[in-house]
Amino acid sequence: MASTTRKRFRNLVPGAFLVVLFFGAAIVSFFYTPFDVETLNIKQRMLTPNAVNWLGTDHFGRDILSMLMVGARTSLAVAFIAVGIGLLFGVPLGLMAASYRGGWIDEFIMRGNDLVFAFPALVIAIMITAVFGPGAVNAIIAIGIFNIPVFARLTRGASLSLWNREFIMAARVAGKNSARISIEHILPNITNLLIVQGTIQFSLGILAEAGLSYVGLGAQPPTPSWGRMLADSQTLTTIAPHLALFPGMVIVLTVLGLNLLGDGLRDWLDPRLRRER
């Protein structure tokens, strides 16, 4: 029993630890950062990690640790809202498609889904930011749009199998309409799936934000952003590798943490695995 429990939390614990760490850093950055990230100090630039600047300073003499903390805010906020957009639009669309399964509404929603799926996400994101100008808000919209079909498809798929179950029949017999059944009975039963998928999408959102910032289409300076920190340090890698190392590591660890958390949550929440306990 004890060993299976440990096995079950093998992913969850380190994942949750990393995610809490980065969320914590982002939240703390609202009240406190070791140094101000908008003040440049050219004389102190490219210092290697030391007692004062734990992770060193960048090419403008800003404290890298502070930059990463504030950058976490940008990355997490963009990814969070983008996943929110996906859930907010994708889940109702998926529920609706499932309740009208086989009908023209279902067809309409799912083919629209396929259409959005068929576009390469990053190219569209670049297009959106090119038309409306670069910035965090446009990055959120661009990433958010591509989260919609992911959640719509997942919701529909999961709901379809539920619609044939006895308790749904019972609800129907009791006179509830499709919309009420979807909200009261279907939705609670697929929440665990949505949480898991949301975690995975969250990590993809962070990668997408970093990618957009890297090519200059994400948050604009002086707002710190992990992707732009990487881009700025690109020509400096030969003389100051830590400028690229730390933001790179933070991106990797955050995404890793979210993926582990997603896997861990699935292990924990999945009813089939639960029964085996």
Partner 1 sequence: MKFFTRSVTSLMLAAVFSGSALAAKTDITIGMALEPPNLDPTGGAAAAIDEVVYANIFEGLTRFGADGSVNPALASEWAIEEEGKRYVFTLQSGVKYHDGADFTAEDVKFSLDRARGEDSTNAQKGLFANITDVEVIDDTTVAVNLENPDGNLLFNLAWGDAIILDSASAETAATAPVGTGPFKFSNWVQGDRIDIERNPDYWGEAVALEKATFKFISEPTAAFAALMAGDVDAFPNYPAPENLPQLEADPRFSVVLGSTEGETILSMNNKSEALSDVRVRKAIAHAIDRQAIIDGAMFGYGTPIGSHFAPHHPSYLDLTGNSPFDQDAARALLKEAGVEGDLTLSLKLPPPAYARRGGEIIAAQLREVGIDTEIENVEWAQWLEQVFKGKDFDLTIVSHTEPLDIGIYARDDYYFQYDNPNFKELIGAFNVETDPEQRDVMLKQAQTMVSEDYVNGFLFQLAKTGVANNKIEGLWANQPTQANDLTGVSWTD
When the beta carbons of 43 and 272 are compared against partner 1, the nearer one is 43
When the beta carbons of 146 and 214 are compared against partner 1, the nearer one is 214
CA atoms 13, 19, 23, 25: torsion sign: positive
CB atoms within 10 A of CB 80: 17
- Least Å from the CB of residue 42 to partner 1: 4
With tokens 């102190």, the residue in question is 44
- Least Å from the CB of residue 216 to partner 1: 5
When the beta carbons of 173 and 239 are compared against partner 1, the nearer one is 239
- Least Å from the CB of residue 137 to partner 1: 13
- Least Å from the CB of residue 214 to partner 1: 13
When the beta carbons of 45 and 176 are compared against partner 1, the nearer one is 45
CA distance 99 to 210: 37
* Residues found near partner 1 in the complex (CB under 8 A): 38-40, 42-43, 45, 59-61, 133-134, 216, 220-222, 234-239
Query: Can you name the residues that pair with 63 across neighbouring β-strands?
Result: 57
- Helix extents (H) in the chain: 2-8, 12-31, 64-99, 104-118, 121-132, 136-163, 166-173, 178-181, 187-214, 226-232, 242-269, 271-276
Task: Name 186's Cβ contacts closer than 8 Å, sequence gap at least 6.
Answer: 95, 98, 159, 162, 163, 168
- Least Å from the CB of residue 241 to partner 1: 13
When the beta carbons of 57 and 159 are compared against partner 1, the nearer one is 57
